[in-house]
């Protein structure tokens, strides 16, 4: 169940009362006459009581105001007449933190800004970059929830989302079942998820010149995003890698991944060509059917990212994303989850000849991923267990250029030679590898990588590992890599398993690690530094989760 935050109603309402104008929170008080008459014809009058509606509102053409309904349960409910696919919000709008932890509940989808699929439409609307369209602002501590798994949220090109929470008051995007307390810890597909579209570069479009030098579009660029069909249409792409789709900080996205109109299984968050001036810090996705976050081109960076119980890839990269994920903690389920990282360099790679792939890379149109301080705790589930594919570490392919530093990948808590029901697996059919670089044009540089998996490599993994600063622990069967178990392998604390022990205290094959760190720690969390995920994430720490982590 989501965390509730108590807010003093008078304070919240005083802030809300200062808002006004189109697209702001609209306070509409109604006054009740509480005067009392007596037999002597004298009147004792008390101050009128004011009922204030704190729900979001906006004004449409003609001056009509649309506003959510404030219920006795403390939630604001928004019908499809307020917002839905085909009924996009095209003015600025704010969502406040409701008193006593109430939620903004949507009966339809929430699309901010219009979708345009031609240059002429964009020009007529005056949309060429983030900030030209409407802005959606979400106050720290607010919860937004969706009633149906057919609905999702889209920030269209030119529009911006400003969802800036704090460690004490994170912002939550989730399902009504979560708000009502009826959702299971690992339940997914309770609602669609989030899609953010920008004007960044995607190699699904044609360009002349070189990225970062003289790149220009050779035609139009309007790529249909995931979930785009009929009224759900939305598009991404352009030539502006510095575009801004807004700012997200201390945001938790939960129970997503439903299949929507065109058959797509949405992710936690889909970043479609989102630019580098979009700020994304302190982000968590929790219980997701498809990918945790997926980048289709663009150049947005993410700092302090947690992915818990993601059924497919926790970090998915494609279509020429040029960015950095700095400090990421991935914890898969005991019986589900695919890759910690699946990274592709060129969209539709198999359709290109080697000369074309070489040209893409020479002009910087391939994905160039910088991954720093990742901790991946990967479930060694098999094909009989997983909803997608077996749990694995890193798959790097299709013309990708990646630089990976201070990485910790662990898949040793369970024996990966048998499925969860005890069924033996064929010798090389489980796919629980740690490290799998492959395909022509892929360039991988790893500094300070420790892998603890029973199946260490696949495809070109051994050759690439030999040329990089990588160490593989010798794993046979289930092994506990914590400080309170086998002294032959010590990578994590025993009492708080998601913390890495200090690098100087690590043991790999009964000896100190042989890799050299680039920074001051390996992985996302360490005894030696402040844990960036404490206090605001859900599902990791005792006191703010529905179940303990399976390896505790």
User: Which residues are within 8 A (CB) of 297 and not within 5 positions of it... i.e. 6 or more apart?
Assistant: 200, 201, 202, 203, 204, 236, 237, 272, 273, 318, 319, 320, 321, 347
On average, the pLDDT of the chain sits at 88
In angstroms, rounded to a whole number, what is the distance separating the alpha carbons of residues 404 and 310?
21
Assigned domain for 201 exists: yes
Q: What is the pLDDT of residue 529?
A: 75
For residue 266, the 8-state DSSP code is -
Q: How far is CA 178 from the centre of its chain?
A: 18
* pLDDT tens sequence across 486-509: 679 999 987 777 888 889 999 999
Q: Of 210, 207, 92, 96, which Cα lies nearest the Cα of 155?
A: 92
Supply the range of the domain harboring residue 330.
68-508
Neighbouring C-alpha atoms within 13 Å toward the C-beta of 314: 33
What pairing do the DSSP bridges indicate for beta strands 160-164 and 246-256? parallel
Assigned domain for 63 exists: no
Domain count, the chain: 1
> What's the token pair of residue 16?
């809300």
**Model confidence band, residue 301 (pLDDT cutoffs 50, 70, 90):** very high
* pLDDT tens sequence across 25-48: 333 333 333 333 333 444 444 555
Assigned domain for 62 exists: no
Q: What is the pLDDT of residue 496?
A: 75
Question: SS3 for 257?
Answer: coil
Assigned domain for 7 exists: no
Beta bridge partners of 95: 138
Q: What is the pLDDT of residue 415?
A: 64
Question: SS3 for 518?
Answer: coil
* pLDDT tens sequence across 339-355: 999 999 999 999 999 99
> C-alpha angle with apex 142: 141 to 145, nearest 5 degrees?
140
Assigned domain for 136 exists: yes
In which region does residue 192 sit, left (phi positive, over 0), alpha (psi from -120 to 50) or beta (all else)? alpha
Assigned domain for 110 exists: yes
Percent of the chain whose predicted confidence (pLDDT) is above 90: 73
361, 345 Cβ separation under 8 angstroms:
yes
Q: Which segments within 235-351 are labelled E, that is strand?
A: 235-236, 246-256, 269-272, 279-288, 293-296, 301-310, 315-318, 322-331, 339-344
What pairing do the DSSP bridges indicate for beta strands 293-296 and 216-217? unpaired
In angstroms, rounded to a whole number, what is the distance separating the alpha carbons of residues 107 and 109?
7
Q: What is the pLDDT of residue 515?
A: 98
Q: What is the pLDDT of residue 10?
A: 36
**Model confidence band, residue 50 (pLDDT cutoffs 50, 70, 90):** low
Q: Is the pLDDT of residue 485 over 90?
A: no
Q: Is the pLDDT of residue 11 over 70?
A: no
Q: What is the pLDDT of residue 181?
A: 97
DSSP string, 193-221: -EEEE-S---TTS-EES-TTTT-EESS--
284, 2 Cβ separation under 8 angstroms:
no
Question: SS3 for 410?
Answer: strand
* pLDDT tens sequence across 432-449: 899 999 999 999 999 999
Kind and range of the H or E element at 479? Answer: none
User: Which residues are within 8 A (CB) of 367 and not within 5 positions of it... i.e. 6 or more apart?
Assistant: 295, 317, 318, 319, 320, 321, 322, 343, 344, 345, 346, 399, 400, 401, 402
Q: Which residue has the tokens 């994905």?
A: 367
Q: What is the pLDDT of residue 61?
A: 84
Burial grade of 521 (CB within 10 A; 0-12, 13-18, 19 or more): buried
């Amino acid at each position: 169940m989501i965390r509730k935050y108590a807010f003093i109603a008078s304070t919240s309402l005083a802030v809300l009362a200062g808002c006004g104008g189109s697209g702001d929170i609209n306070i509409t008080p109604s006054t009740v006459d509480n005067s009392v008459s007596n037999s002597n014809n004298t009147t004792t009058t008390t101050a009128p009581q004011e009922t204030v509606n704190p729900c979001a509102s906006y004004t449409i053409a003609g001056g009509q105001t649309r506003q959510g309904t404030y219920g006795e349960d403390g939630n604001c409910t928004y019908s499809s007449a307020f917002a839905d696919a085909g009924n996009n919000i095209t003015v600025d709008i704010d969502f406040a933190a409701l008193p006593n932890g109430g939620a903004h509940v949507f009966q339809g989808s929430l699309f901010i800004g219009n979708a345009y699929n031609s240059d002429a439409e964009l020009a007529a609307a005056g949309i060429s970059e983030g900030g030209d369209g409407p802005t959606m602002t979400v106050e720290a501590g607010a919860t937004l929830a969706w009633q149906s798994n057919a609905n999702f949220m889209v920030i269209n090109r030119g529009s911006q989302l400003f969802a800036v929470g704090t460690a004490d008051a994170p912002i939550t995007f989730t399902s009504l079942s979560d708000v009502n307390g009826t959702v299971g810890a690992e339940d997914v597909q309770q609602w669609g998820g989030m899609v953010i579209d920008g004007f960044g570069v995607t190699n699904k479009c044609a360009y002349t010149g070189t990225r970062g030098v003289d790149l220009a579009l050779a035609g139009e660029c309007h790529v249909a995003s995931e979930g785009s069909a009929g009224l759900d249409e939305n598009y991404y792409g352009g030539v502006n890698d510095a575009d801004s789709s807004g700012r997200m900080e201390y945001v938790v996205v939960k129970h997503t991944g439903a299949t929507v109109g065109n058959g797509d299984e949405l992710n936690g968050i889909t970043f479609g060509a989102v630019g580098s001036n979009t700020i994304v810090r302190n982000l968590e996705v929790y219980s997701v059917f498809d990918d945790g976050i997926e980048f289709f081109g663009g150049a947005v960076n993410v700092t302090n990212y947690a992915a818990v119980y993601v059924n497919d890839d926790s970090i998915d990269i494609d279509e020429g994303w040029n960015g950095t994920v700095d400090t990421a903690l991935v914890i898969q389920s005991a019986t589900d989850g695919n890759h910690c990282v699946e990274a592709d360099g060129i969209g539709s790679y198999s359709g290109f000849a080697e000369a074309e792939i070489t040209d893409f890379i020479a002009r910087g149109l391939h994905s160039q991923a910088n991954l720093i301080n990742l901790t991946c705790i990967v479930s060694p589930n098999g094909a009989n267990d997983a909803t997608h594919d077996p749990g694995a570490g890193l798959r790097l392919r299709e013309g990708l250029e990646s630089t990976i530093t201070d990485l910790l990948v662990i898949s040793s808590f369970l024996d990966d030679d048998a499925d969860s029901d005890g069924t033996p697996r064929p010798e090389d059919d489980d796919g629980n590898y740690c490290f799998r670089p492959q395909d022509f044009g892929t360039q991988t540089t790893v500094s300070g990588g420790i892998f603890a998996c029973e199946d260490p490599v696949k495809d070109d993994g051994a050759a690439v590992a030999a040329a990089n600063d990588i160490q593989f622990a010798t794993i046979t069967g289930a092994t506990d890599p914590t400080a309170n178990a086998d002294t032959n392998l010590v990578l994590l604390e025993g009492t708080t398993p998601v913390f890495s022990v200090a690098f100087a205290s690590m043991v790999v094959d009964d000896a100190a690690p042989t890799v050299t760190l680039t920074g001051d720690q390996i992985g996302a969390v360490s005894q030696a530094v402040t844990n960036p995920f404490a206090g605001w994430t859900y599902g990791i720490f005792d006191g703010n989760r529905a179940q303990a982590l399976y390896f505790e």
